[in-house]
Structure 1
Amino acid sequence: MAIVLRFVDAKGMIQERFLDLVHVTDTLSATLKTSLWKQLSHYQLDVKKIRGQGYDGASNMRGEWNGLQALVRYECPYAYYVHCFAHRLQLALVCASREVIPIHKFFNKLVFRINVVCASSKCHDELQKAKAEEIKTLLEMGEIKSGSGLNQVGTLRRAGDTRWGSHFNSVCSLIDMFGATRAVLQGIVEDLSHTTFSQRGDADTACDHLESFEFVFILHLMKEVLGKTETLSQALQKKSQDILNAMELVSSTKANLNEFRNNGWETFLSKITSFYVKYVIQMSDMKGLYTSTRYRPRKPDLRVTFEHYYRVDLFTSTLDKQLEELNSRFDENAMELLTLSSSLVSKEIDVDKICLLVKKYYPEDFTEQEITLLQFQLQNFNFEMPTNTILSGVSSIADLCKSLVET
């Protein structure tokens, strides 16, 4: 277990230091907490002064009742937990969506298909040639316009579990290259003289998956989901973090996903229906009974339609997993704490917000008299700040800590 401390030194500078690497017999939260407390005591650090903690997304770390953060909060009520912003959000959201079995199988098929199509430079050349022919045909039909920077011939992009945003790029590239990809796969199947039985078999399997209703449905669903969270993901990976902007993005992303979940089905279905028509893919009868060996309804006599399966078991379930992951990473208390704290570095401090921050989150750090006096001190601070050359240049909490010591 790696222990890193973040603290403010005597000069008001925020420091971050690696403290120790501790061997633990297991990763139970109780074991981690015992080891952590032992090391802090060894270095004569007062655990009561802990004012924050952050870990990755593992349940033994972030668990609300028995996770490490909960055990620390039990002894240090002001050690508020904020999920590590540097943790790659989109990769976590992909993992969350994979808890829906068809989504997990979709990503496996996606990787397989890209590997088949991009297995050789010859296949890659055929892919780009097919895309160029498709663009030429669409231009002649007047369905797309020509111009500088338009109609670029791209390629398929591989998704990687360690690359930020790669899954979104991979999904978008396949949608853009869908027709060309299908043409290349069909070409491999029909080329008896230059391909092996193994290559033809893989291509035929990949083509069957590509033309299936379920695969195309999930392909577009993941584009919508990952696209709606892309802006937040990019914002959270910035080295310099604007907390207030990040919290606003969290709220807007949650609202966007929730709106899509509750009211976006009809629009989404019409969008992918036009895609099926464009590429002549057979669409399932949404009113027909859905039957599958992997689908086991809760009751033996319960039969569901295709619409129920795609809307409830895929569309709604996937979005629920995304919202659940976002809510666990950015709970309301953490968001309010960060939002209130960010008001310390605005051009004019919001007195009411800082007083709320003190009363709600740090009441034992202040006496009743200090809380009463704080409101007037903050008012004086707002009058002095514009004329003070050091205070007026403050743009972050780190700058504020340093300038308060200097002044």
Structure 2
Amino acid sequence: MGPYQPDMLEYPGTKFGSQNRRFQKKWFQKFYWLEYSPSTNKAYCFYCFLFLNDVNSSNISALVNEGFDNWKRVNQGKTCAFLSHIGSAASSPHTMCERRAENLMRPSQHIDKVMHAQSKEEKEKNRLRLSTSIVAVRWLALQGCAFRGNDESLSSSNRGNFLELMKAFAKMNIEIDEVVLENAPKNAQYIAPEIQKEILHIMANRVRKMVREEVGDKYFCILVDEARDISKREQMAIILRFVNNHGILTERFFAIKSVSDTTSMNLKNEISNVLVHHDLHVKKIRGQGYDGASNMRGAWNGLQALFLKDCPYAYYVHCFAHRLQLTLVSAAKDVSVIWEFFSHLDNIVNIVTSSTKRIAELHTAQRNEIEYMLSIGERDSGSGANQIGNLQRAGATRWSSHYDSVKSLIGMYTATCKVFEVLSDHFPNGRAKAEVRGIYRNMNLENVGGMNFFRKLKFFAQEMKLMCLILIVYIRLDVPVGKLQ
């Protein structure tokens, strides 16, 4: 509020000899720091009264402590008591007190305000830094890319997907560049592997929470399968199957657990722990879907039997995909022409894909063929059309991969023949050269063997889908595998 400066019609007088002197109102305008107390009829220095701790002269002491009332000493030029109080030096006590008062009356300069402003700015930088890390983690997780690099040091030319993505963000945005990686504090960079994993866990928990809310209090089924990861550890995937609020049958991947062993009791305990943790009651299970392994489907001690003891309505259904695989293998194992055909197909794929040079020759042959077919109008151009591909191997655990293998060879039949034509003339190894020529002779459409092979190729490509559909129907009707043979 500033110094107290009352506006009075007449200030009380003080007797000095034969003269009666009094305080003058005009002094307030000349000395803005001056204040007057009507009760004591004395003047004070507002600034020094508040902030002065060290009193060195009588003038200063009077204006600070007991008050000043020697009015005859005011209008005396350079010897004026008020001017003497101010002093001529820039570091005089009065000047220092005035600066302190000015600082006090500027709230924006207070230390708590300055610290708050700095803290707010630091918070914004931390949020931008963390947001950038979150976006990088989310993108890499969505694309299924690896996070870490072999060498993540500053001197490395490739520090891994996560750090390289952060560098790309920094190049595109100046604000991000100013707060991430080398420009971030060493204790708040938010790029450590532990931070990446923590962000992933938070995202996974949010997804699980959404799935749990979608399930609600409804009944559900569980689908479980286990497999080994690249480090040879058993991983168990848990999927929930339920009818959502719109009446649509829905399946949601819910959790993946690393299990020490795959005994039925251990698997049951791990699944139960996951369900209990998310407040999903075992009593509400109305179905179980596993493969046909003894620890899963065993009638007495299998996983399905253990859950049936807790919930008699949790009916077990042998996974249709596994049943189809077993049925196809069982139905085809005694048909020699099928195994002979796929053995021949495996040899073709192995010879072409076992060398990067042959793969490059296959791509070149495909490119030349596509350009020629486009030039004569036998192929249509368009987005996604006329792609260069590779021959695919048939997998041992998924029969549908056999169809993909047959289909890939049909699409690249001419280019594959050209590769074998080159190999049959220039292969260095005599024994291997004879093998390549034998395979090429069976593939070549100019001879009877090649025509038969191509007919079989097209036949299997056309009939395998129909065969799978028929077998699915038979499986759903619970027809024994022996009758299918």
Which category of TM-score, normalised to the shorter sequence, fits these structures? 0.3 to 0.5
TM-score (norm 1): 0.39
Higher helix share: 1
More strand by share: 2
Provide the TM-score with structure 2 as the length reference. Answer: 0.34
